Chains A and B, each alone.
Chain A
């Protein structure tokens, strides 16, 4: 048992449902108790879906507990098949159903006899994988199912498309800025003269899946979703996979060069160097920003980064390599894929943090006192409490992270958006000056162990009055510095004198 208040990645069935409901005309039926269909609320609220989320529950209640689901699951599948005529119904186990150990595969086979559409059981173990791993696995499972089905029917295309083409794999519902990223990637492919053969799973029909082998290569923009599918396609059809996330100027160029290499190996004979140069120097504003005076002011500022593998790794590289910002630590909650993360970021930050404990992250932020945080909604709230600005770069996210305006993170427009996000997160100019006046930036030592630790010090009336004269955005830091000073010297009460003595001590 584990005491937990907050989790970064959801349970496995959420991953499966995200994949199933990303496809067009695919319905998921959860084998779950009442109330577990909260996914529908999230999808309807967060991504403001106009259509009913194609997820229903085959409710597990007392009767099911006593005598098993019996006909219930099969009836629910065939009923949904008749009502909505989905191409595919994915039976989704939940934590509850996985301990009931009912033979769901058998239900699927029985329902398949009657159902016009296809029926499959999502193959995920609730107690071993999380949302991200389950999503990756379910996408692979669905692709494999339809490739094999087409092969049996002899419908599998054997030739590649005439012009270079790509499958974009891993765009899904409730993914962080996924829709905008998808648009940006399509535009990028258009610029490069590459046809988009398929985008999966978002908006795809399962009937298109048999055409996946026609693409010259697969592009997997996110580390968390799509690699299993791409590896499968590589093993089956030798389709090469480009898995460099085009996030940030340098990585976008690296991704494009890799694409060039992959398609030239198949006889395309393209040269993208001129395009990369043009975009980097004149179209994207990010490279110019790095050179500008604004960015100069950011030099050496401290930041911390936390999120999923894709976004935390990319942001760390952008901050450190493209803007000269000092990333004190970078972390991920993708513990199952920690080695990859370490390898990606270790040369761009002082320390790597692998954890899914938000308390540990909060304390690590309090210890470092960075000028800005780049993290999830949880880190944003830690930042609020510590008076440190935060840019949200990864899920878990709230409704405000599903903007209506065009805000990709990938490609050249993505570099502009990220630049704005970073620049706006730091406190600058006059504020910066004030920070200097009141005791500089960064204190190396640990001031408080836990961020919720109560202060044992007493502020006197005049001390408090003096503190309140300090501008709000630096007050927290001045307060902490003064308290540290008082604690070091054994003062119990903090008066105005102590406050100014602390300021002088730091200034000296």
Chain B
């Protein structure tokens, strides 16, 4: 590959923040499924409820372990007592569902009326005997996936410190360990322990589907690295032990608050790495963890090459094409970096919020990828303005726009290929084996349009959009 003619730095911009994204309370939809003994109570209005009900589609009918505490006029004007009201609802939840933790999701409304959720929670917790975790996942401060960040940051405070238990029991507490040891004899387990290199405990953070957790854990095991725990675990009662000096690593780019909390409050050491999205990202992630522990990675280069070979039929479809991220879920930089490696040109990376420190390694990797692939560096637009972006899209005519559902159909009707961005949040995209799933998503509009290309049905609106 050619080296870029003028290695310039990434260009950061910030627009008006008039963009479409999901409200961060949407995190309850995947977190209640991840944390099996939890109950999420969203304290907000009909607007919040309406969003959840419609955005989560069929999931709402599966007896979800989440509900709205719908605020009424009496709550707003403080004619009703917040504490008494929350107590009544939480007792009902305890009676009906008996969860191990109730997570209160603070919303815009609780912010504005200054409902002191953090103050009420400990009192109510001791009264009803169920832990209450407070996360302020509101649309005033955060976008979409950042909701998970606020919840995990709050959960980080609940992780046990240096639990007063024996080494054996400690192992037992570890969910993944238990899973891997399932059905094995004690001696085998001890023998397996020796497969690991001696390194300080490592805890990973970020909510991923269980199969992906297993995949990434096994991937590290191949390098002799033992994952002592995950934040979050499958159950609230299985939150990992976090002692001072433990190492932590993030698996998703939107977890900056959690990272900060783990460093500052739990005195853990953060391994700043690119995120394990795409084979290149996964390799860099593992290599970085290895380097911190002084391990020489084994067989990673071959592994990555082998994955790329398997992707060739999809990469062929997008090589040389261009992509535009409108930005709504903070996965954009990692995805852009992977797509550049696939041979795409990225015009613009819209992103709701850019934490240059937490994402430093990822940004550096994006820059390097662009230079090595000989494509121009993309513009990174924080807090984008969707209207302006649509004008830029008309000008640039990208081969693919990754965008929210509000813009997808109108853009398609104007002959512009789109991929709905939210699918990247719910699909399994981490690790070596899921790289294909990312490309499955990215290439779907292109494959579909290849099938339809001879029909002459590209533009299906009568007049062009007015400027």
Binding site for B on A (CB under 8 A): 1-7, 10-11, 13-14, 32-38, 40-42, 44-45, 48-53, 56-57, 59-62, 65, 76, 83-85, 94-96, 99-100, 126-128, 130, 378, 381, 396, 398, 452
Which of B18, B25, B404, B407 has a CB less than 8 Å from the CB of A59?
Answer: B18
A38 touches B55 (CB 8 A): yes
A99 touches B139 (CB 8 A): no
B289 part of interface (Cβ distance < 8 Å): no
B86 touches A1 (CB 8 A): yes
B73 touches A34 (CB 8 A): no
Nearest to A95 among chain B residues (CB) is: B45
Known: A38-B23, A50-B410. A99 touches B46 (CB 8 A): no
Cβ contacts B67-100/A at 8 Å (1 or 0 each): 1111111011000100001101100110000000
Nearest to B391 among chain A residues (CB) is: A83
Q: Which residues of B contact A65 (CB under 8 A)?
A: 111-112, 140
Q: Which residues of A contact B108 (CB under 8 A)?
A: 33, 60, 96
Known: A49-B409, A50-B461, A57-B18. A1 touches B69 (CB 8 A): yes
- 8 A-B pairs with least C-beta separation: A35-B23, A33-B139, A40-B406, A50-B413, A1-B85, A11-B46, A95-B45, A35-B139
Nearest to B62 among chain A residues (CB) is: A381
Nearest to A45 among chain B residues (CB) is: B405
Q: Which residues of B contact A4 (CB under 8 A)?
A: 49, 67-68, 70
A52 touches B70 (CB 8 A): no
B54 touches A38 (CB 8 A): yes
Residue contacts A-B, CB under 8 angstroms, 17 given:
A1-B71, A3-B68, A5-B68, A6-B53, A7-B53, A33-B139, A33-B140, A36-B139, A38-B51, A40-B20, A42-B54, A44-B405, A44-B407, A48-B409, A61-B141, A65-B112, A65-B140
B426 part of interface (Cβ distance < 8 Å): no
B408 part of interface (Cβ distance < 8 Å): yes
| Range class of the B interface residue count | 35 or more
A48–B140 alpha-carbon span in the complex (Å):
29
B1 part of interface (Cβ distance < 8 Å): no
A13 touches B47 (CB 8 A): yes
B50 touches A10 (CB 8 A): yes
B7 part of interface (Cβ distance < 8 Å): no
A41 touches B50 (CB 8 A): no
B47 touches A11 (CB 8 A): yes
- In residues 112-163 of chain B, which contact A (Cβ within 8 Å)? 112-113, 138-144
A381 touches B61 (CB 8 A): yes
Q: Which residues of A contact B24 (CB under 8 A)?
A: 35
A126–B75 alpha-carbon span in the complex (Å):
14
- In residues 395-424 of chain B, which contact A (Cβ within 8 Å)? 404-410, 413
- New contact pairs (16) apart from A5-B67, A11-B50, CB-CB < 8 Å: A1-B43, A1-B75, A1-B80, A7-B49, A35-B22, A38-B54, A38-B55, A41-B54, A44-B408, A50-B460, A52-B407, A59-B17, A83-B467, A95-B46, A126-B46, A398-B57
Most chain A beta-carbon neighbours within 10 Å: one of B25, B61, B93, B465: B61
A86–B303 alpha-carbon span in the complex (Å):
57
Instruction: Looking at the assembled complex, report how far the CB atom of A263 sits from the nearest CB atom of chain B, in whole angstroms.
Output: 36
B457 part of interface (Cβ distance < 8 Å): no
B188 part of interface (Cβ distance < 8 Å): no
Instruction: Looking at the assembled complex, report how far the CB atom of A20 sits from the nearest CB atom of chain B, in whole angstroms.
Output: 16
A85 touches B410 (CB 8 A): no
Q: Which residues of A contact B405 (CB under 8 A)?
A: 41, 44-45
Instruction: Looking at the assembled complex, report how far the CB atom of B85 sits from the nearest CB atom of chain A, in whole angstroms.
Output: 4
Instruction: Looking at the assembled complex, report how far the CB atom of B4 sits from the nearest CB atom of chain A, in whole angstroms.
Output: 35
Q: Which residues of B contact A6 (CB under 8 A)?
A: 53, 60
A62–B140 alpha-carbon span in the complex (Å):
6
A3 touches B112 (CB 8 A): no
Instruction: Looking at the assembled complex, report how far the CB atom of B70 sits from the nearest CB atom of chain A, in whole angstroms.
Output: 4
B45 touches A34 (CB 8 A): no
A61 touches B45 (CB 8 A): no
Nearest to A11 among chain B residues (CB) is: B46
Q: Which residues of A contact B460 (CB under 8 A)?
A: 50
Nearest to B143 among chain A residues (CB) is: A34
A44–B386 alpha-carbon span in the complex (Å):
15
- In residues 420-467 of chain B, which contact A (Cβ within 8 Å)? 460-461, 465-467
A3 touches B67 (CB 8 A): yes
Which of A34, A45, A85, A99 has a CB less than 8 Å from the CB of B17?
Answer: A34
B64 part of interface (Cβ distance < 8 Å): yes
A1–B79 alpha-carbon span in the complex (Å):
11
B21 touches A35 (CB 8 A): yes
B301 part of interface (Cβ distance < 8 Å): no
B174 part of interface (Cβ distance < 8 Å): no
Q: Which residues of A contact B144 (CB under 8 A)?
A: 35
Cβ contacts B360-389/A at 8 Å (1 or 0 each): 000000000000000000000000000100
A38–B71 alpha-carbon span in the complex (Å):
20
Nearest to A96 among chain B residues (CB) is: B108
Instruction: Looking at the assembled complex, report how far the CB atom of B81 sits from the nearest CB atom of chain A, in whole angstroms.
Output: 10
B139 touches A127 (CB 8 A): no
Instruction: Looking at the assembled complex, report how far the CB atom of A16 sits from the nearest CB atom of chain B, in whole angstroms.
Output: 12
Cβ contacts B36-66/A at 8 Å (1 or 0 each): 0000000101110111011101001101101
Q: Which residues of B contact A38 (CB under 8 A)?
A: 22-23, 50-51, 54-55
Cβ contacts B336-350/A at 8 Å (1 or 0 each): 000000000000000
Q: Which residues of B contact A51 (CB under 8 A)?
A: 410, 413, 461
Q: Which residues of A contact B138 (CB under 8 A)?
A: 33
A44–B76 alpha-carbon span in the complex (Å):
33
B177 part of interface (Cβ distance < 8 Å): no
A128–B72 alpha-carbon span in the complex (Å):
9
Most chain B beta-carbon neighbours within 10 Å: one of A3, A35, A48, A452: A35
B109 part of interface (Cβ distance < 8 Å): yes
Nearest to B45 among chain A residues (CB) is: A95
A123–B92 alpha-carbon span in the complex (Å):
36
B465 touches A41 (CB 8 A): no
Q: Which residues of B contact A130 (CB under 8 A)?
A: 46
A36–B46 alpha-carbon span in the complex (Å):
11
A273–B321 alpha-carbon span in the complex (Å):
66
Known: A57-B18, A85-B466. A35 touches B143 (CB 8 A): yes
